[in-house]
Amino acid sequence: MVDTESVNGSPVTPELEKAAERADSRRGFLLALPALGFLTLFFATPLVIVAIYSFATRNRFGGTDLSGWNLDSYRRLGEPIVRDILYRSLFLAFITTVICLIFAYPFSYYLATRKESVRNIMLVFVMIPFWTNFLVRNYAWRVLLGNGGPLSQATEAVGLGETSILFTPTAVVLGLVYGYLPFMVLPLYASIERIDWRLVEASRDLYASGWTSFRKIILPLSMPGVIAGSILVFIPSLGAYVTPELLGGAKTTLLGSYIVTQFLTARNWPAGAALSMVLMIVMLITTIIYFRKDGKTL
């Protein structure tokens, strides 16, 4: 006999289809719940706290009064010292990004056009620096660039005299480029590797020279990688703390160090929080621009 009670195996009606779809999305939500919970607790909450503090007031004892809400901390960002730091950080992050791009593009292109086995080996080389602690690597750079260090010795040996670039913006940029180059290489490699080479052949067949093919086909099609890599380098460079601290010395304060100073030394938490918010908003805007343009292909 036909079992009219059973849901499974009865004819489908629009209501039943809806119910099934809802059940499906419930299951999806349950699966996402652990990660959602974790992010809410440990990411969103501190973010809200920072936001609240940025509107608060520092009291005389270096504590924070949450009662008097105002925009004073944001106004302070217009002060020449803070503005200079902001501009300097943006500039160095920009330079770092451009240099990373210039180095990484040809390398990624080369990588993407190699045999599978060669690629994998080279990708491992790109990752090797990650196997060592970031702090340790920055100290290594200090030795490398320091007075009487290998770099200085080398320039002296070829008759260019000593170099002392440690504790200059140049050293910071060098360190940042070194630290974030892999973040540029990987998305670039991924996007170049995905390009259909038959399109390049088609353009060659249509009278484009090798260079023109690159400009008209490969470059536009690898744009998602260029943008993703640039964001991945620009954002952490802008907020970098360790590298500027160790290689930049006291003369070139950047955003990261300045924020830390506000929290730890000046004990002006609202100022530090406001600066952090600004930093975050800059990053948010860049990221949104990216996702609006080509985010699907990240």
106, 129, 150, 220: which one binds another protein (CB under 8 A)? 220
Number of residues engaging another protein in binding (CB under 8 A)? 18
Is residue 231 within 8 A of residue 183, CB to CB? The reply is no
Binds another protein (CB under 8 A): choice among 5, 9, 207, 250: 207
In whole angstroms, give the CA distance from residue 63 to residue 92.
33
- Applying CB under 8 A, among 60, 115, 198, 251 the residue interacting with another protein is 198
Q: Does 211 bind another protein (CB under 8 A)?
A: no
Stretch that binds another protein, among 175-183, 185-193, 210-218, 266-274 (CB under 8 A): 210-218
Query: Given candidates 153, 212, 281, 288, which one binds another protein under the rule CB under 8 A?
Result: 212
Q: Which is nearer to another protein, 28 or 220 (CB)?
A: 220
Q: Residue 90, interface with another protein (CB under 8 A)?
A: no
Q: Does 60 bind another protein (CB under 8 A)?
A: no
Q: Which of 135, 202, 264, 284 binds another protein (CB under 8 A)?
A: 202
Q: Does 298 bind another protein (CB under 8 A)?
A: no
205 touches another protein (CB under 8 A): yes
Site residues (CB under 8 A) for another protein? Answer: 196, 198-199, 201-210, 212, 216-217, 220-221
